[in-house]
Structure 1
Amino acid sequence: MPESLLLSPRAPLCREWDPRAPRPPVFESHIVHGVIHPVLTTDEVLPRFTLARVFTDWGIDPLPFVLAVWVAGLYLWGVAVLTRRGDRWPVGRTLAFVVAGMGSFFFATQSGLGRYDTTLLSVHMVQHMVLSMVVPLSLALGAPVTLALRTLPARPRRWLLAVLHSRVAKVLSFPPLAFLLYVVSPWALYFSSWYDASLASAYVHEMMHVHLVAVGALFFWPLMGIDPLPGRVGYPFRVLLTVLTLPFHAFLGVTIMGQSTLIGGEHYLALREGPMGAWLPDPYEEQHLAGGILWGAGDLIGLVFFAVLFTQWVRSSMAEAKREDRRLDMMEARARREQPPPGG
């Protein structure tokens, strides 16, 4: 790098960083033991983070914004088609998909969580849990595949059925494989260069959000969802897979808490050299807090999943018992009709 660039107090680092990055980096001169060192800092200076800013500090991240609006809009359009046709669609499913599902996705990417997710690792971790657990569960409970099968024209419906019955869908929804992807992805994210790349590139950052939702959907949709998807297994096995997620989050959280190496260390340490250094917490304490959030939130949301799955299991058993009662009643009525009258 040319010496003039190193000595420039605010020279942008254009070649090493994606200009679309969420926090466009620049160099500042920093003198250590009489030697001038370039220091990475940020153009966007955010005020001190507080809990209130999660709900009041909003922005527009184009890709997640468009995705949330279009997906929610298509779902509501499908509900409107059913309503005009005179069919009934449960309100609970609509609320689960649009409000809890896409609403949580919108909140996680456009609210203060999205504004500070590259500034504080703990904020990113909250966002991670919402995108990988809350959003997939809510979308699955909304049964969008069932809605699509009931509203699409004949040809698109055949295409959708072909996709659902394809070999790729069967492989991706195979429960052990989906569980492995769900478990391995966070380790790959935080213990490889992937997370550093997401801090440096807006595109990688947004694709990480989509990836978290997609992997969560692959794992939880066949377990919790209502849609007729391949890979569905019996309720005992579903409960087992759900319970297995609890120690996984705890182990990953404890590992992050005990790390001596900072996750995204170059990025977060550089932020402390800029104007936000006056309020940014110690990066090691911040990482310890992030690991604790992953541990605690993972267990809490996992218990919610278990409660939802157990409720579905009970309802399924009660419905099966009612069907069996009706079958026995019909057999008994048929036997009475076929029985010869007394004295016949």
Structure 2
Amino acid sequence: MSVVEPLPELSWGTAVSEWSLAPLPLVVTVWSVGLYAVGVLALRRRGDRWPVGRSLAWGVGMLAFYLATSSGLAAYDTVLLSAHMVQHMVLSMIVPLCLALGAPVTLALRTLPARPRGWLLAVLHSKVAKVASFPPLAFGLYVLSPWALYFTGWYDASLTSVYVHEMMHVHLVAVGALFFWPIVGVDPLPGRVSHPFRVLLTVLTLPFHAFLGVTIMGQTALLGGDHYPSLHDGPMGSWLPDPRADQELAGGILWGAGDLVGLVFFVILFAQWVRASMKEAEREDRRLDRLEAQARADAKANE
């Protein structure tokens, strides 16, 4: 059973002071950033370039992951539903989006030795990878899993079991990655579709976050059952907000943050579409130039 330790009132100061050195997030963050840096340095040593923007995206994504799982935000995620909802949005949207833009698969393919690179390619071409990255399936998991989280016994279980709580964090990142990676990422993954279809999938996600947020704000039953009201009977009761008001705030965070990040995602995707169109136009211009040069050469030879 998970025991909620008494905490002072949430503020910017306590968000820093209640920081914890959770072993699993720390290990994952250090190894992920370290291996990525090793890959970038390996490219530079052999004279190849790696876009700085990709490195920054990976760093921001891992920083967001560590903040969401180890900072004061993580300490309060079982005390305030609103704090949990901020954590939810960071793990399910910001972290996967940034990691996808970091293109770690491309980096690995360019730096790994022959045998590990072959293993990675085998995974990318496997049936499991193709099924998991199938866009309609990834879209369905992404928009429906939050409903399953909050309107089944799953969320209640996450408040009483440390294991279920941590698996919920893993699930949020994994499902977000399945959705974002083939759409906005530059890695050679199965499930990549044309840019118009990517934009369509992005637009379709916006109403689902809004509808879920409004539903949470409007329902009379409290998420987590008696968990949040029971905290008022302890030492935190003097500063905890009314559970109903906190749930309304949590729904508003889900609604507003979902739309905001979704719009940022849309802008990034649109910029990628424009860039891809410009590159395609350049390739077509070069092809036409070659054909024209070949035609002139043939005409000159026939004179």
Normalised TM-score (structure 1): 0.86
> Partner letter of residue 63 of structure 1?
L
Q: Where in structure 2 are there 5+ consecutive unaligned residues?
A: none
CA-to-partner distance for each residue in 1:267-323, whole Å, 9 max, x for gaps? 111111100000000000000110010001000100000000000000000010011
Give 1:265 deviation, angstroms.
2.5
Identify the residue that residue 223 of structure 1 maps to in structure 2. Answer: 183
Identify the residue that residue 297 of structure 2 maps to in structure 1. Answer: 337
Q: Does 1:191 align with 2:191?
A: no
Pick from 2, 5, 9 the counterpart of residue 48 of structure 1: 9
Query: Quick one: distance in 2 between partners of 1:128 and 1:288?
Result: 16
Q: Does 1:69 align with 2:50?
A: no
**How many residues were matched structurally?**
303
Give 1:52 deviation, angstroms.
4.2
Query: Quick one: distance in 1 between partners of 2:194 and 2:241?
Result: 47
CA-to-partner distance for each residue in 1:152-197, whole Å, 9 max, x for gaps? 1111111110110001100010000000101111011111111111
Larger CA deviation: 46-55 vs 102-111: 46-55
1:48–1:279 Cα contact (<8 Å) kept: yes
1:64–1:206 Cα contact (<8 Å) kept: no
Give 1:65 deviation, angstroms.
1.7
2:76–2:84 Cα contact (<8 Å) kept: yes
Q: Does 1:272 align with 2:232?
A: yes
Pick from 236, 241, 249 the counterpart of residue 196 of structure 2: 236
Give 1:55 deviation, angstroms.
4.4
Normalised TM-score (structure 2): 0.97
Query: Quick one: distance in 2 between partners of 1:147 and 1:251?
Result: 38
1:122–1:289 Cα contact (<8 Å) kept: yes
Query: Quick one: distance in 2 between partners of 1:92 and 1:216?
Result: 21
Query: Quick one: distance in 2 between partners of 1:50 and 1:280?
Result: 12
Give 1:54 deviation, angstroms.
3.0
Identify the residue that residue 60 of structure 1 maps to in structure 2. Answer: 21
User: Greater Rg, structure 1 or structure 2?
Assistant: 1
2:82–2:246 Cα contact (<8 Å) kept: yes
Query: Quick one: distance in 2 between partners of 1:341 and 1:166?
Result: 51
Q: Does 1:85 align with 2:46?
A: yes
Q: Residue 119 of structure 2 aligns to a residue in which SS?
A: helix
Query: Quick one: distance in 2 between partners of 1:330 and 1:53?
Result: 65
Of all paired residues, the percent bearing the same amino acid is: 71
Larger CA deviation: 296-305 vs 264-273: 264-273
Query: Quick one: distance in 2 between partners of 1:322 and 1:339?
Result: 26
Query: Quick one: distance in 2 between partners of 1:88 and 1:341?
Result: 43
Pick from 221, 226, 246 the counterpart of residue 261 of structure 1: 221
Query: Quick one: distance in 2 between partners of 1:296 and 1:184?
Result: 18
> Partner letter of residue 331 of structure 1?
L
Give 1:56 deviation, angstroms.
4.7
Closer, same or farther: CA 55–313 of 1 in aligned 2, 3 Å: farther
Query: Quick one: distance in 1 between partners of 2:76 and 2:171?
Result: 19
Q: Where in structure 1 are there 5+ consecutive unaligned residues?
A: 1-16, 25-41
Pick from 125, 140, 150 the counterpart of residue 85 of structure 2: 125
> Partner letter of residue 68 of structure 1?
T
**RMSD across aligned positions (CA):** 1.3
Query: Quick one: distance in 2 between partners of 1:210 and 1:65?
Result: 14
Identify the residue that residue 57 of structure 2 maps to in structure 1. Answer: 96
Query: Quick one: distance in 2 between partners of 1:315 and 1:55?
Result: 40
Pick from 99, 107, 113 the counterpart of residue 73 of structure 2: 113
Q: Residue 175 of structure 2 aligns to a residue in which SS?
A: helix
Give 1:53 deviation, angstroms.
3.2
Q: Residue 192 of structure 1 aligns to a residue in which SS?
A: coil
Query: Quick one: distance in 1 between partners of 2:263 and 2:115?
Result: 41
2:8–2:14 Cα contact (<8 Å) kept: no
Give 1:51 deviation, angstroms.
3.8
Identify the residue that residue 245 of structure 1 maps to in structure 2. Answer: 205
Give 1:340 deviation, angstroms.
2.6
Query: Quick one: distance in 2 between partners of 1:262 and 1:228?
Result: 43
Q: Residue 265 of structure 1 aligns to a residue in which SS?
A: coil
Pick from 184, 190, 210 the counterpart of residue 170 of structure 2: 210
Query: Quick one: distance in 2 between partners of 1:203 and 1:338?
Result: 73
Bigger helix fraction: 2
> Partner letter of residue 259 of structure 1?
Q
Q: Does 1:153 align with 2:113?
A: yes
> Partner letter of residue 188 of structure 2?
P
Identify the residue that residue 32 of structure 1 maps to in structure 2. Answer: none
